[in-house]
Amino acid sequence: MRIVFIHPDYRSGGAEIAGTWPPAWVAYLSGALKSAGYDDITFIDAMTNKMPEDELRRQLAELKPDVIGCTSITPSIYKAERALQIAKEEHPNAVTVLGGVHATFMYQQVLSEAPWIDTIVRGEGEEIVVNLVRAVDEGRWPSERSEIKGLAYRDDEQIVATPAAPTVKDLDGINPDWSILEWDKYMYIPLNCRVAIPNMARGCPFTCSFCSQWKFWRDYRIRDPKKVVDEIENLVTEHQVGFFILADEEPTINRKKFIAFCEELIARGLPDKVQWGINTRVTDVLRDEEYLALYRKAGLIHVSLGTEAAAQLKLDLFNKETTVAQNKKAVQLLREAGIVVEAQFIVGMENETRETLEETYRMARDWNPDLANWAMYTPWPFSSLFQELGDKVEIFDFEKYNFVTPIIKPEAMDRGELLDRVMHNYRRFYMQKAFFSYPWAGTGQRRRYLLGCLKAFLKAGFQRTFYDLGRVGYWGPQSRKKVNFDFDTSRKIAPAQMEDWQSAKEQAQARVLARKSENGKFEDIHPDPATAVKLCGGGPEASDAAFEQAVAAKVCGGGPEASDAVFEQAVAAKPCGGGPEASDEAFEQAVAAANAAEHDRERRDELRDAIKHQSRY
């Protein structure tokens, strides 16, 4: 049984300007397959090797695989579909498999536009892929494919989705095969060293309306910190990794385990060998003020903060329980701890103006982060905001959904002007940093890191890869009216996907009506688990009381009376790898309640108002 994995050749001038990133997904899937006895696995990294189609075709022809797997996020979906089309042309009898967040939620769309894909893996893939490969190996494919949970496929003209597979409960039982990667090619430019992307946890208990990760991973689970450090120590020793980024959405959610992780790194002397970075929330930084020095001692050198927007109005829209003042305070605390801080701003909504863009720049200067990033609002087609935006979304060319292309056209400016004003912010911010900040930022690791970041920016700028400027033809303010984003306007939402969305909308509306009493308030009801609506396998819907209990226990922003012990029990117990006190059901009910809220603005607004009246931490 020969298996080939392909990482599609896609780049957009976003995160890749900082280096060449190792595709962690293939290490985790390969590790699961090898543990199950399937060790004839080859990985083709078409992105890192900038592989043309004819070379991909040649390698596939030589390998003669039985199963060909590929992954995709939304902007790389067409490259992934094309890679599997080439695979099917070369090996018609091989099973072509696509996974990743886009295919998980948009399987109706993908299978409509790419019928050469035999099946889609929905959700996290380690256990599903093993079951799929075993079925192929034992000759039970495709006759018994309906028995495998977590798949979607075409059955003649019908698109079928099997029941969702359970999430992987024992994350510590996964042994990623990092040796399958070409480590000499994965370099982090700021530190000129090899880079890795392990994870400490999966999922997120928060439900930001523009995000999809909490939907994809469903329940929040965290690994044993010592096991995570074992993996990092192996990456450092065996593969000479000098920098890693925790792939978690927010690794600091569980403070107790994050502190244990840092202490374990220190105990093993790893901060002398490897530095690292994370993404986290402003509220976690404020909560952990007394521990920031420990985090830095453990090697944490880069924190990217989801400040999202300068205007409080935007923060409210994006369901971020944070304020402008809190953002400024968090930046200050991180810098005082010697940690490089990056502020993330979302721009490009329909109400964007020259004035609001100028406001984000002024906020960036006032907060004084070391790095700032202005990302174009990208409405993931499987997020609640996408459907709420309605006809404001007029571009369905998903290849451009990459954080650097303006998908939404602001009412007060055209897309070319929007790009120009964003570049204006970048030029002013980094000009000031280059001449008056980075060279004088001390003599240690922090200064070297900042100068390395500047090098990465300059390199991408000179090569015209930053923000995809070369491709769209932007050369400065004089070219803003000539910018060509080259949208493929022939791309449309497939009828099958539209029907799926409409069905989900009607079900959500029916649930909302069922939950309303005569006086307009939501009733406390408990649907039969056998008939409860499940979102990508999510648990039964919870009552208002269950959700508010989760809020009070810090799941969604509880008050100061919620102790760490309560947090451990309510959030980080069995779903997160510990504690007999709390059951999986309690967490699943809380997450399912948030899922139900996603489908109805009125419901979500009520929950948001309840959250706002509580003091987070």
| Per-residue pLDDT tens digits for 204-251 | 777 666 666 677 777 888 999 999 999 999 999 999 999 999 998 889
Count other C-beta atoms under 10 Å from residue 77's C-beta: 25
Q: How far apart, in whole angstroms, are the C-alpha atoms of residue 421 and residue 417?
A: 6
Contacts of 15 (CB under 8 A, 6+ apart): 21
In this predicted structure, the answer to whether residue 82 has a pLDDT above a threshold of 50 is yes
For the chain, the domains span 3-161, 270-482, 495-612
| Contact indicator for 150, 122 with CB cutoff of 8 Å | yes
pLDDT digit string, tens, across residues 451-503: 999 999 999 989 999 999 999 999 999 999 999 999 999 999 999 888 887 77
The pLDDT confidence band at residue 97, using thresholds 50, 70 and 90, is very high
Whether 3-161 and 270-482 share one fold: the answer is: no
Q: What is the DSSP letter of 409?
A: P
The pLDDT confidence band at residue 603, using thresholds 50, 70 and 90, is very low
CATH topology of domain 3-161: Rossmann fold (3.40.50)
Please tell me which residue, 528 or 508, carries the higher pLDDT value: 508
Q: Which structure tokens are listed for 101?
A: 């967040």
Q: How far apart, in whole angstroms, are the C-alpha atoms of residue 455 and residue 447?
A: 12
Please tell me which residue, 535 or 42, carries the higher pLDDT value: 42
Q: What is the DSSP letter of 93?
A: T
Average pLDDT over residues 166-194: 95
CATH 3.20.20.70 fits 270-482, yes or no: no
pLDDT digit string, tens, across residues 274-321: 999 999 989 999 999 999 999 999 999 999 998 755 444 455 555 555
Phi, psi (deg, nearest 5) at residue 241: -75, 130
pLDDT for res 210: 61
In whole numbers, what is the pLDDT of the chain averaged over residues? 83
| Contact indicator for 587, 573 with CB cutoff of 8 Å | yes
Average pLDDT over residues 366-371: 95
Average pLDDT over residues 324-333: 91
pLDDT digit string, tens, across residues 544-556: 343 334 433 433 3
Q: Determine the length of the chain.
A: 617
pLDDT for res 204: 77
pLDDT for res 518: 52
The pLDDT confidence band at residue 339, using thresholds 50, 70 and 90, is very high
Give the orientation angle of helix 601-612 with respect to helix 495-515, to 10 degrees: 60
Listed residue (467, 409, 386) closest to 212, CA to CA? 386
pLDDT for res 382: 85
In this predicted structure, the answer to whether residue 607 has a pLDDT above a threshold of 60 is no
pTM of the shown model: 0.81
Q: Which residues pair with 221 in a beta bridge?
A: 202
pLDDT for res 512: 63
